[in-house]
Amino acid sequence: MTRYDNGARFERETAEDLRKRGYVAERIAGSHSPADVHALKSGVQPIFVQCKKSGVLPPKEWNAFYDYCEKAGARPIMAMKPGRGIAYFELLERKEKRGKQPMKGVVIE
Q: Is the pTM of this model over 0.95?
A: no
Q: Contact 39/24 with Cβ under 8 angstroms?
A: yes
Domains of the chain: residue spans and CATH: 3-106 (3.40.1350.10)
Distance in angstroms (rounded) separating the CA atoms of residues 51 and 36: 6
Mean confidence (pLDDT) of the chain: 91
Are 76 and 89 within 8 A, CB to CB? no
- Which tens digit of pLDDT belongs to each residue from 59-109? 999 999 999 999 999 999 999 988 888 999 999 999 987 777 899 999 998
Quick one: pLDDT at residue 13? Answer: 95
CB 108 within 8 A of CB 74: no
Buried b (16+ CB within 10 A) or exposed e, 56-81: ebeeeebbbbbebbeeeebbbbbbbb
Whether the predicted pLDDT of 31 surpasses 70: no
